[in-house]
Amino acid sequence: MKKFISEFKEFISKGDVMSMAVGIIIGGAFTAIVSSLVGDVITPFLGIIIGGIDFTGIAITVGDSQIMIGNFIQAVITFLLTALVIFSIMKAFNSLAKKKDANEQEKEAAPVPEEPSEDIRLLTEIRDLLKNNQQ
C-alpha cells in the first residue's frame, strides 16, 4: 500500500498531469468564449440569413408526452457551428505555428559556403607552398 501511495504521489506531481489540468481549465474558459461566439454572434447572423427560423418549437406528440425534435435539431446546429469555429481557429493557429517553425528553421540554417572550384583550390595550394618555401 505504501508503494502504491508513493507511486500515486509521483504520478500526480509529474508535469504531464499538471499540464493536463491546466489544459482542462483553459479548455473550460475557451468553451465559454466559443459558446458566446456561436450563440451571440454566429447564430443570430445565421438567423437573419435563413429568416429567423427557430427549430426549438418543433415537437412530436406521442400520447401524453412530447418528443422535442426541434431542441435536438438546434443542438446539432449549435454543435456544427461550434465545431466549425474551433476548426477555423485551430487551422489559423496551425498555419501561424508552421510559419513560425519555417522562420526558425531559416534562421538556424546557416548558409553553407560554396566549395571552391578546382582552379581556385589548386591556386590556393600553390600560394601556400610558395609561402612555406620563402620562409
Cα atoms in the Cβ-side hemisphere of radius 13 Å centred on 75: 6
Instruction: Kindly state whether residue 68 falls inside one of the protein's structural domains.
Output: yes
pLDDT given at position 15:
66
Kindly list the distances between the CA atom of residue 73 and the CA atoms of 57, 60, 79, 93, in Å, as whole numbers in the listed order. Answer: 10, 13, 10, 30
Q: Is residue 128 part of a domain?
A: no
132 within domain boundaries: no
Averaged confidence pLDDT in the chain = 82
In the predicted model, is pLDDT for residue 109 greater than 80?
A: no
What is the total count of domains within the chain?
Answer: 1
Q: What pLDDT, on the 0 to 100 scale, is given for residue 91?
A: 92
Kindly tell me if the per-residue pLDDT of 13 is higher than 80: no
In-domain check, residue 45: yes
Listed range (60-64, 102-106, 121-125, 127-131) with the worst mean pLDDT: 102-106
> What domain range is 6 assigned to?
2-110
Instruction: Return d(Cα 93, Cα 103) in angstroms, integer.
Output: 15
Give the tens place of pLDDT for each residue, 29-87. Answer: 888 887 888 778 877 777 788 777 777 778 899 989 989 888 888 888 888 888 888 88
CATH of residue 40's domain is 1.10.1200
The answer to whether position 34 is within a domain reads: yes
